[in-house]
Structure 1
Amino acid sequence: MAEHDLGFAGAADLPSLDRLLGMPDFQAALAEFGRTQVTDALRHDLDACRAAALAGTLTHDTLAPAAFGARVTCALTERNCATLRPVFNLTGTVLHTNLGRALLPEVAVEAVMQALSAPANLEFDLATGGRGDRDDLVAPLLCELTGGEAATVVNNNAAAVLLMLATLAKRRDVVVSRGELVEIGGAFRIPDIMTHAGARLVEVGTTNRTHAADYRNAIGEKTALLMKVHCSNYAVTGFTKSVDVAEVVQIAKPHGVPVAVDLGSGTLTPLERWGLPHETTVQETIAAGADLVTFSGDKLLGGPQAGMIVGRKDLIAKIKKHPLKRALRVGKLTLAALEPVLRLYRDPDHLAERLTTLRLLTRARADMMVQAQRLAPALAQSLGEAYTVSAAPMVSQIGSGALPVEQLPSYGLAIAPAGGGKRGSGRALAALETALRALPYPVIGRIADQTLWLDLRCLEAADEARLALQFSELRA
């Protein structure tokens, strides 16, 4: 029996590319994506239809101009969809490395938009009309807020440490306690940074105990720095001993050896003012006598990704002259975002309202509980009888190497497979987690203890309605 008798189309039934492009079904796609992209997509679709015809599986309705137009439009829409997309961070980790860490406050967003759309005095001195230094846009603010004599900015804190070591310790010794040889995300380790900077690591003490004498005995003719590294992504407890910055400074001073401190997350204000655990501030570290301090911009500081080095003027001047400084420098968008964030710290009384990171860290559990109670019925209705949904207490964390063992009381949605049994619950939760990630505005939660947790700490009030609207799409 012939293919046509069965309702299948043959290769001879395929319309020409030029004829299809001239039809009304393609005009919207041509206007949005341009002739080159539409032509390529249509040619690819025709090739697929030709292969189906040769296999005897091509149906006549597949060849309708409207069908071609719909498939090409769908393919091009997917192809041109942004790969960097906004998501709902319902993981319970406020400063989530994989989700972009700190969210910028509105004043920083506005400053970035202005820098994007107009020329700016990035390296132009408006007073003299000559060439300027881009560090001068934020260095005075950094010195004001930290007590440092000078400051410079690079693209992240790892770069700040690398640049500092390459400048001051190449082919020389850097003394670090064994208990502070941290590894940060992506298997990036302090010893590796030392190696690539050309510095020689001198380990002192043990994993859990380091004494003043260990530093004192390690100083020699080739010692470039005594270095303290903040253990921001883990905690050693029990039988421990460490030497604080002030004592290390007193050990180093008679030998003329600078003391450098890598603070990691680096906060500029005492967090206990808002009921959060104490985190050593940059000001405290400078006041303790540290010659150089490095810290991040996109963690507790609440700004864009950047690495700051503040401290002694003569040492900062050397660092700025190193060839790596140009390779690691930041662009105008980072500086545009960083300056207004730093300005917010001049008014600590309103900081929790205006700095997004601090506002999320200090949200009242009662507010999140009310949100959870509003959202739970809508989500339960969308998921049907396969899952149970309840508003439940949970704990958040600051994240990204900041106060790793501290937890914040939070509230959110707890979702479990109906029936309460463990058999198949893992697959059911994984399927739901995948469905949430596939929503137009992806929802990212976390699975633990046979439950999918959607922590609402990072759900701003303005976004609650958008999240609720998406629940209906889960019915499919």
Structure 2
Amino acid sequence: MNTSSATAPAGAIRLPAVHLILSDAGCEALIAEYGRVQTLEGARALLAELRAKLLADRDGGDTSIPALLAMLSARLREQNASPLRPVFNLTGTVLHTNLGRALLPDSAVQAVVDALRWPMNLEWDIDTGKRGDRDNLIEDLLLELTGAEAATIVNNNAAAVLLMLNTVALNKEVIVSRGELVEIGGAFRIPDVMTRAGAVLREVGATNRTHLKDYDEAAGPQTALMMKVHTSNYAITGFTKSIELDELAPLAKKHNIPLAVDLGSGTLVDLEQYGLPHETTVRETIEGGADLVTFSGDKLLGGPQCGIIVGRKDLIAQIKKNPLKRALRVGKLTLAALEPVLALYRAPDLLPERLTTLKLLTRPAADMRAQAQAILPLLQAALGAGYVVTDEAMMSQIGSGALPVDQLPSYGLVVRPAAEGRISNALGVLEQRLRALPLPVIGRVAQDALWLDLRCLQDHQQQRFIEQLGQLAA
């Protein structure tokens, strides 16, 4: 007699053999979707876990083949679920760095789909039949929109700054005001980037006040670059002074030193024409005397993640010859998405309708209020008596370091616990429930309430949002 069989709990021998599970008609759909190898490995792992439970005299539950197939299906589905998931951004921050920043317009989305399905003339000149430069695909548009002499593209603005410094100022000094030595998300600090780029930082002025003479006195034989950094994610107020571009450009020219401006977010149009706060444009910066300008593609520009460098032709040519350029270059998907976004700027009067980012930034509060009033009773019914939902005015922000002190009038839903006491626990539970939905809902907790700003809930997404409220109730 087999001793192990005799001493094993009765339940342990109730498990079917793995080949019986795979040969069952109910397993055919799993094999068709996930492949035989993955399904086999999943079945073996599931049986091993259940066997360990039964041998430990723990309840293994229903171990029939239909029940096992249901467990196997759930396991395979979870195992193959993408960690990158769409969410509802109801935080009130339009360009949310952690949620992917700018949403692309339909023209850019279709261009990316085409680039995924077809070979593209990424580095091939169709007219001459010879090898081309991938920057040529978008350079003409950038020159038209910015007034620069030349342009090049890398994978983000941090890379643009790194590449520019390494090319123009390797082992030489770069003059920067102390008030502009910024740190942005992810511990990206200007001094650290300069060190990595091989440039020597020459700080001038004080944290709150820098004068033109500070730049003038610092300029010398070892100076390769004067640089202004847009303080996009903070503002210094009070007893302050900074040197504007129109003052610094003539000084840089007098010393024959190139002047670079890191605009950070960067915009190609005057936002004031759309009722938004003014942000210095790339064209204004070029016309103001900057020799090089760096900015992002996925912030105010409303395109894909990339870093754009525009400016003097001779300096851009040097940058493109730097071996780091190949390491930092973008692929066909980025260029496919960027070109149609740039093309939209040729019709600035139509931009609020066609550019998703600008459409969200200029969305009327009245539209959001109507949306809130339509959703409120449905959300209240889903949450039950434990919470009170109200529709209220609130303030949105642009995000990603753009205009940090400016806010946009908005409207949305505010959820508060019905009972006093243990408010933070009730809000934490609610926030978790919203994040657990098939399409997670991301809001913000403040002032003992959960705020759901509807600025970024587009009309075509509203029905999907409403449909899953039933699951929230369950």
Q: What TM-score do the two structures reach when normalised by structure 2? A: 0.97
Contact 1:154 1:307 in 2 (8 A): yes
1:473 corresponds in structure 2 to 471
2:56 corresponds in structure 1 to 55
Q: Which letter maps to 1:42?
A: A
Poorly superposed stretches of 4+, deviation over 4 Å = none
1:442 corresponds in structure 2 to 440
Matched, 1:108 2:108: yes
1:5 corresponds in structure 2 to none
Contact 1:295 1:308 in 2 (8 A): yes
2:26 corresponds in structure 1 to 25
Q: Distance in 2 between matches of 1:30 and 1:265?
A: 48
Q: Distance in 1 between matches of 2:188 and 2:211?
A: 26
The secondary structure found in structure 2 opposite 1:389 is strand
Deviations 1:296-330 (A, max 9, x none): 00000000000000000000000000000000000
Q: Distance in 1 between matches of 2:39 and 2:303?
A: 41
Deviations 1:150-196 (A, max 9, x none): 00000000000000000010100000000000001011101111000
2:405 corresponds in structure 1 to 405
Q: Distance in 2 between matches of 1:155 and 1:470?
A: 36
**How big is the shift at 1:58?**
3.6
**How big is the shift at 1:14?**
2.0
Q: Which letter maps to 2:432?
A: T
The secondary structure found in structure 1 opposite 2:284 is helix
**How big is the shift at 1:116?**
0.8
Q: Which letter maps to 1:47?
A: A
Q: Distance in 2 between matches of 1:273 and 1:71?
A: 57
For 1:171-320, list aligned pairs within 5 A: 171-320=171-320
Q: Distance in 2 between matches of 1:475 and 1:465?
A: 16
Q: Distance in 1 between matches of 2:58 and 2:192?
A: 58
Deviations 1:310-356 (A, max 9, x none): 00000000000000000000000000000010011111010110000
The secondary structure found in structure 2 opposite 1:101 is coil
For 1:64-143, list aligned pairs within 5 A: 64-143=64-143
1:44 corresponds in structure 2 to 45
Contact 1:87 1:441 in 2 (8 A): yes
2:5 corresponds in structure 1 to none
Query: Among the aligned pairs, what percent are the same residue?
Result: 63
The secondary structure found in structure 2 opposite 1:134 is coil
**How big is the shift at 1:9?**
4.0
Q: Distance in 2 between matches of 1:30 and 1:68?
A: 15
Call closer, same or farther: CA 1:364–1:9 in 2, change over 3 Å.
farther
| Structure 1 unaligned spans of 5+ | 1-7
**How big is the shift at 1:233?**
0.5
Q: Which letter maps to 1:52?
A: K
The secondary structure found in structure 2 opposite 1:343 is helix
Deviations 1:75-121 (A, max 9, x none): 00011111111100000000000000000001100111111111111
The secondary structure found in structure 1 opposite 2:228 is strand
| Structure 2 unaligned spans of 5+ | 1-8
**How big is the shift at 1:128?**
0.8
The secondary structure found in structure 1 opposite 2:62 is helix
Q: Distance in 2 between matches of 1:88 and 1:53?
A: 42
**RMSD of the alignment, in Å?**
0.9
**How big is the shift at 1:26?**
1.3
Contact 1:122 1:134 in 2 (8 A): yes
Deviations 1:415-461 (A, max 9, x none): 00003x2x211011011101101100111000000000000000101
Q: Distance in 1 between matches of 2:32 and 2:138?
A: 44
The secondary structure found in structure 2 opposite 1:62 is coil
2:427 corresponds in structure 1 to 429
Q: Which letter maps to 2:250?
A: Q
The secondary structure found in structure 2 opposite 1:227 is strand
2:362 corresponds in structure 1 to 362
Q: Distance in 2 between matches of 1:441 and 1:404?
A: 29
Q: Distance in 2 between matches of 1:112 and 1:28?
A: 32
The secondary structure found in structure 2 opposite 1:196 is helix
Contact 1:149 1:312 in 2 (8 A): yes
**How big is the shift at 1:142?**
0.5
Q: Which letter maps to 1:117?
A: R
**How big is the shift at 1:10?**
2.6
1:384 corresponds in structure 2 to 384
**How big is the shift at 1:475?**
1.4
Q: Which letter maps to 2:128?
A: T
Deviations 1:249-293 (A, max 9, x none): 111112110000000000000000011000000000000010000
Contact 1:9 1:58 in 2 (8 A): no
Q: Distance in 2 between matches of 1:10 and 1:102?
A: 55
The secondary structure found in structure 2 opposite 1:56 is coil
Q: Which letter maps to 2:25?
A: P
Contact 1:204 1:214 in 2 (8 A): yes
Q: What TM-score do the two structures reach when normalised by structure 1? A: 0.97
Q: Distance in 2 between matches of 1:465 and 1:318?
A: 52
**How big is the shift at 1:472?**
1.1
2:462 corresponds in structure 1 to 464
The secondary structure found in structure 2 opposite 1:241 is coil
Contact 1:166 1:197 in 2 (8 A): yes
Q: Which letter maps to 1:36?
A: V
Deviations 1:13-62 (A, max 9, x none): 22111122111221211111111111111111111111112111245x52
Q: Distance in 2 between matches of 1:13 and 1:434?
A: 38
